[in-house]
Amino acid sequence: MTRRDFSGPGDLRAMQDLCSRTWTPTSRFHPGQLAWSRYYRPVDPFALEATEAVSVWAQDGHAVGFGWAEAPDWLELQVDPDHPEVAALVLEWFEEWSDAEEQSVMAVEGDAAVEAALADAGFLPQEQEPFFTHHVLDLEALRPVPAVPGYTFRAVQSDEVVERAAVHVGAWSDLGPSQVDASSYGQLMAAWPYRGDLDVVALDASGAMVASALVWLDPATGAGLVEPVGCLPAHRGRGLAGAVTLAALHALRDAGGRVAQVTPRGDDAYPGPQRIYRGLGFEPTARVLTWSRSAG
């Protein structure tokens, strides 16, 4: 087994391949999530920020685990279930790299290898903190797209990067400054497994984009990830978020997808998104909890 530090898009693809090969409805990551996490803000494709680090463990030419330290106090990881020993190696690497006094990791509840390694390393599950819940939907049970008077739905065109970035920023900026811009969205559109036919927007009567839903299809598994969905504040309360998501899911099924996944907040403090997705037919599977430790 070997370990290498991140050096460019090839390592991201190796990480995505691991996610694809081992995907189940309760896996920590879908390949599309890694693409979004990498390119939602302007980045150098071949370099990381000074405050982040990524390392990949491989055997026989395939990634069997990775650690993505998004900040000195925050780690994301995924491990091949056939190589549970890698979880401890990732945590050791993170401890050596990080100088943060408090460290946190997100893990899927029931991922025995990762949970055991976290417990051995002194992490504890934070049951009272916000958590996420994987939801899945069999696309055979997909509901029709409802008509929303005054609005139409269509896929984004390749020359609409500026407009597409703007509708995302407008939808999310009330939660805090968004780092998405035309440059980053252009990088995102060039990344695997982005597909323009699965990037769907709602248009108002003037033809302006007012809501959006992006779905990532992994062709190897037929699983599509919904990430992200947004609606401009002035157009909320009309069912647009759910309708544009359904339009994107119909495009996913037409493209060969068999199942869809989404991972909204699951705690009672932020119930809106999960209520929308369950209203579309998504069913909850596993929770994603934060584990934390004091490194002092």
pTM summary value: 0.96
pLDDT 10s digits, 93-127: 999 999 999 999 999 999 999 999 999 999 999 99
Q: Would you state the structure tokens that stand for residue 55, as one six-digit string?
A: 């390392």
Interatomic CA distance for residues 266 and 105, integer angstroms: 17
Tell me how far apart the alpha carbons of residues 153 and 136 are, in angstroms, rounded to a whole number: 23
CB 257 within 8 A of CB 217: yes
Share of the chain above pLDDT 70, in %: 100
- If you write DSSP's letter for every residue of 236-269 in order, what string do you get? TTSSHHHHHHHHHHHHHHHTT--EEEE--B-STT
- Percent of the chain at pLDDT > 90 equals 98
| Superfamily name and number for 136-287 | Gcn5-related N-acetyltransferase (GNAT) (3.40.630.30)
**102-108 and 74-79 strand pairing:** parallel
Same fold, 2-133+289-294 and 136-287: yes
**Rounded Cα gap, residues 45 and 262, in angstroms:** 26
211 vs 260: CA distance, rounded Å: 20
H-helix or E-strand spanning residue 278: helix 272-279
Task: Please name the amino acid found at residue 176.
Answer: G
Contacts of 149 (CB under 8 A, 6+ apart): none
> Domain segments of the chain: what residues?
2-133+289-294, 136-287
* pLDDT given for residue 295 in this prediction: 75
CATH of 2-133+289-294, one of 1.10.3720.10, 3.40.630.30, 1.10.8.620, 3.10.180.10: 3.40.630.30
Question: Higher model confidence: residue 176 or residue 223?
Answer: 223
Look at the block and give the residue holding tokens 């290898």.
Answer: 113
